Each structure stands twice: as C-alpha cells, then as structure tokens.
Amino acid sequence: MNIEITRSFSQKKNLGNYETLDSFCSAKIECDINEVEEKSKMLDEIVQREVNKTLARLTTQPEPQGLTIEPELKFYKDI
C-alpha cells in the first residue's frame, strides 16, 4: 500500500529596519507505507536545507551606507 507524504518548512529572518525575509519550501513523495518514517525524515532534511540555503544566499552583508572611515594613507616621500 502506498501513501503520499508532504513536508514543508518556513523561516523568517529579521533584517532590521522593519524588513524581513521569508523563505518556504515544500516537498512530497509517494512511498510504501513501510517506508514512511525514513522518507518523511528525508523530506524534512531536504526542505530545511533548501530554506537555509536560500536565506544564507539572500542575507549576505550589505554594502556600508552613509559615512565610512577610510584608513589613513601614508606616503614615504612628500609630494
């Protein structure tokens, strides 16, 4: 006897300044009823990994905005 399993996972990441990133993934599989536990765990790992990869890719460090402090340049000769 076969059964269909669906697993989903979502996560929200706060970016500050009232901005959030939401990521959601869902996967399903049809399997024999004797394989439910194994296949369910596999799907759970897949959807969590995909959400985490998406959030990691989208939350790279932003370019600095506003004033930045540049290192002082040192010259060995007077110009």
21-76 pLDDT, tens per residue?
Answer: 899 999 999 999 999 999 999 999 999 999 999 988 887 655 556 666 667 766 67
CA distance 76 to 79: 9
Give pLDDT, residue 16. 81
Task: Give the global pTM.
Answer: 0.68
Q: Which of 11, 4, 2 is nearest to 47 (CA)?
A: 11
Label residues 1-35 b or e (16+ Cβ within 10 Å = b). eeeebebebeeeeeeeeeeeeebebeeebebeeee
More confident residue, 6 or 58: 6
